[in-house]
A and B are shown apart, each in its own frame.
Chain A
Amino acid sequence: MAAITRNNYEQFFIDYYDGNLSAQKVAELREFLRKNPDLQAEFEWFSNIKLKPLDKTQVPDFSFLKKKIDQVPFAEENADELVISLLEGDYPEEKRAQLWQWIQEQPKAFQTYERLKKAKLNTAVESLEKSVFYQIPDFENDAIDTDNEQWFAIAAMEGDLSENSLRKYHKWLNVHVEYQFDFLSTRLLPDTKIVYPRREELKRKPAAKIHLLTFTTTVAASLLIMLLVYRFLNDQNLNTTNNKLSTGTAERIEILASSKVEETHEKQILESPVATTVSSKPIQKRRGAKIATLQPRNFTIEIETIAEKSINLTTLPITHTLAVYQEPEPQIIKTEEGEVPNSGFWARTINFVSEAAKKNFGNKIPKDKFKFDYKLNDQRQIVYFAIETPVFAIERKK
């Protein structure tokens, strides 16, 4: 046994008063108390809580607390307990029929019954059901008496009796005329005055037949609408972008350069200064509408819009040389503002486009927004070029 310390002294106090300590431990305890006088009062207090065994005659009878199964209320939460007691034969016999009636009317209880009865021997259950639950006589074999005559009467009315049983019942009834009762009088007749007032609302209409032509037309129309919506939304997006860059009214325009330069005239064209003018036509409100044409002899630049909204494209009185479009060599561009030094075709083209942009878009297009692309053939001739800005684009293929 452990030594007595200030951490465990309580159990030794209790053992002392219960007489469970050895003489040695008692001496040890007294020594402990002498060294710890502050615990003396607590030691004495423990003497008051010593338990004495109860006299058996003083123990109250709690048997009344025991639950009797027939006192368990017929409730869903007690279904299992009640069903088990019935199947086990624990339920008082005189109340079984009442319990069985309740079980039949409670789906949960009946499910429990069906489940549990599988665990019992079939013969036991059948016997139980026959004797207690159903209370329907065996019409073929049972004798008719005043206790079961009503069952026979109902069975006769319902057509549940065999010919033999029916004969037996009529024979009995002839003797016991006072029991004659026509159970047909208990048959309910439908109350035909009650009709469902919303019957028509319940009905369904046949689905409309769709002809192939109608179907095709509908699909085509749907696709067309979708296309228009897509274009509208697409243009809306472009408008938003371009409005940030242009003066406000301008939308995206696309300048397409298409050239019909003949090979034989190329040199001549190259060295011929050409005055070009962009006419002041209002932009057509449709995508790809040609709004201006530049015709330096055999060279044509078409300016087109892809925007829905028009811009007021004023005249571009640009006079410059387009002759060097083939070679990116330094040239001089003549404009109304004078000669502009040019390092080559691209610079001039850029200059041309920039001039157009300045005129039409208030010089809003920064240089870094111009994107260029070109391709050279084996003779270092340009066969393709393209310029793209946030507002318009120019492209030429040879």
Chain B
Amino acid sequence: MTVEEYNQCVDAHADSLYRFILKNLRDREYSHDIVQDSFEKLWVNRNNVDGTKAKSYLFTTAYHTMIDHLRKTKRLDNREEIPPQAITHSKTYSDLQEILHEAIQRLPETQRMVLMLRDYEGYSYQEIGEITGLNESQVKVYIYRARIFLKDFIGTPENVI
């Protein structure tokens, strides 16, 4: 990968990568760090990474860094995980995308990530599997379950004016 190709990658993928991380972590500073770290790794391994696989490389790196971070955070944050269904909604939304973005925060992290990779980036089940280390069937099930959850969420009258 040449410098030019690498810089094209920055232009093409920095925003989407940042968006993907920020939506998952909801921590701007740490999201910056992960983006920077992912591109740094890409630069270091530029001779081993095919230009066409650069995006996948970036998302894979970011995904695993995020997972590690989430695990550490969970360990520190000793609160009991609350199932999405148990959360009561006090807010109401007028825009469907706003509702969905609120809803995905209530999804289990793996479901949330694979759904984002599917919808934001348009990755196939196989590509998502390569990024996340899951098999295709698992990815499919996660996405299907996530969609059912979103459908239930937006279908709840109290969530929509």
A-to-B contact residues, CB < 8 Å: 101, 104-105, 107, 110, 129, 133-136, 150-151, 154-155, 157-158, 160, 181, 183, 185-191, 194-199, 201-207
CB-CB under 8 A from A107, the residues of chain B are: 67, 133
B9-52 interface bits toward A, Cβ cutoff 8 Å, 1 = contact, 0 = none: 01100111111001100000000100110010001000000000
Identify 29 residue pairs between A and B in the complex whose beta-carbon atoms are under 8 Å apart, listed by A's number.
A101-B108, A107-B133, A110-B134, A134-B140, A136-B144, A154-B147, A181-B155, A185-B154, A186-B100, A186-B147, A186-B151, A188-B115, A188-B116, A188-B119, A190-B19, A191-B97, A194-B15, A194-B18, A195-B15, A196-B14, A196-B15, A198-B35, A199-B11, A201-B36, A202-B10, A202-B35, A203-B10, A206-B3, A206-B4
**Bound: A158/B136 CA distance, A:** 14
Contact B110 A196 (CB under 8 A): no
Q: Are A190 and B10 in contact (CB under 8 A)?
A: no
- Number of B interface residues at 8 Å Cβ cutoff, please give it: 47
Q: Which A residues lie within 8 Å of B137 (CB)?
A: 129, 134, 136
Asked whether, in the complex, the Cβ of A134 is within 8 Å of the Cβ of B141, the reply is: yes
Docked Cα-Cα span, A294 to B144, in Å, equals 106
Question: By the criterion CB–CB under 8 Å, are B7 and A204 in contact?
Answer: yes
Taking the complex as formed, is B131 at the interface, i.e. its CB lies under 8 A from any CB of chain A?
Answer: no
B97, A188: Cβ atoms closer than 8 Å: yes
Residues of A within 8 A of B10 (CB): 199, 202-203
Asked whether B6 is an interface residue with its Cβ less than 8 Å from the other chain, the reply is yes
Contacts of B148 in A (CB 8 A): 150, 154
Q: Which 4 A-B pairs have the closest CB atoms?
A: A196-B18, A188-B119, A186-B150, A196-B14
B143 on the A face (CB < 8 A): yes
CA distance A107 to B133 in the complex (A): 9
Looking at the complex, which one of A104, A181, A197 makes contact with B110 (CB distance below 8 Å)?
Answer: A104
Whether B133 lies near A188 (C-beta < 8 A) is: no
Which single residue of chain B is at the shortest CB-CB distance from A200? B10
Apart from A194-B18, A202-B35, list 17 A-B contacts with CB within 8 A. Answer: A104-B134, A105-B109, A134-B141, A136-B140, A136-B144, A155-B144, A157-B147, A185-B151, A190-B19, A190-B119, A194-B15, A196-B32, A196-B35, A197-B32, A198-B36, A204-B3, A206-B4
A183-B18 in contact (CB<8A): no
Tell me how far the C-beta of A204 lies from the nearest C-beta in chain B, rounded to whole angstroms: 5
B104 at interface (Cβ–Cβ under 8 A)?
yes
B120 within 8 A of A: yes
CB of A83, distance to nearest CB on chain B (Å): 15
CA gap between A105 and B71 in the complex, in Å: 11
Shortest distance from the beta carbon of B1 to any chain A beta carbon, whole Å: 11
- Give B96 Cβ to nearest chain A Cβ, in Å: 6
Q: Are A205 and B14 interface neighbours, CB within 8 A? A: no
Query: What is the CA–CA distance of A166 and B76 in the complex, to the nearest angstrom?
Result: 48
**B69 contacts chain A at the CB level, 8 A cutoff:** no
- CB-contact partner of B6 in A190, A201, A204, under 8 A: A204
Residue among A129, A190, A205 with max Cβ neighbours from chain B (10 Å):
A190
Against A, the Cβ 8 Å flags (1 = close, 0 = not) of B102-131 are: 001000111000011001100000000000
B133 touching A202, Cβ below 8 Å? no
Query: Taking CB as reference atom, which chain A residue is nearest B138?
Result: A104
Chain B residues lying within 8 Å of A191, measured Cβ to Cβ, are 19, 23, 97, 101
Question: What chain A residues lie within 8 Å of B39 (beta carbons)?
Answer: 202
Nearest A residue to B108 by beta-carbon distance? A105
Cβ contact within 8 Å between A205 and B3: yes
A107 to B109, CA, bound (A): 12
Q: Which single member of B15, B22, B96 contacts A185 (CB below 8 Å)? A: B96
Residues of B within 8 A of A134 (CB): 137, 140-141
Complex Cα gap A189–B154 (Å): 15
CA distance A107 to B140 in the complex (A): 17
Q: Whole-angstrom distance from the CB of B13 to the nearest CB of chain A?
A: 9
Complex CA distance for A216 and B30, rounded to whole angstroms: 46
Report the separation of the CA atoms of residues A198 and B32 in the bound assembly, to the nearest whole angstrom: 8
Tell me if B7 and A195 are in contact (CB < 8 A): no
Q: Which residues of A contact B15 (CB under 8 A)?
A: 194-196, 199
Q: Distance in Å from the Cβ of B31 to the closest Cβ of chain A?
A: 9
Residue ID in chain B nearest A190 by CB atoms: B120
A155–B141 Cα distance when bound, in Å, is 11
Question: CA A191 – CA B22 in complex, angstroms?
Answer: 11
CA distance A190 to B104 in the complex (A): 13
Contacts of B133 in A (CB 8 A): 107
Within the assembled complex, what's the spacing in Å between the Cα atoms of A105 and B22? 20
Least Cβ–Cβ distance between B137 and chain A, in angstroms:
6
Cross-chain contact A136 with B154 (CB below 8 angstroms): no
- CB-nearest residue of chain B to A189: B97
A201: B residues at CB distance < 8 A: 36
B151 to A150, Cβ gap below 8 A? yes
**Shortest Cβ distance from residue A193 to the other chain B in the assembled complex, whole angstroms:** 9
Q: How far is the CA of A101 from the CA of B109 in the complex (A)?
A: 12
The one of A110, A135, A194 that contacts B141, using a Cβ cutoff of 8 Å: A135
A209 smallest CB distance to B (angstroms): 12
Contact indicator B14/A188 (Cβ below 8 Å): no
Q: Report yes or no: A105 in contact with B19, Cβ–Cβ below 8 A.
A: no
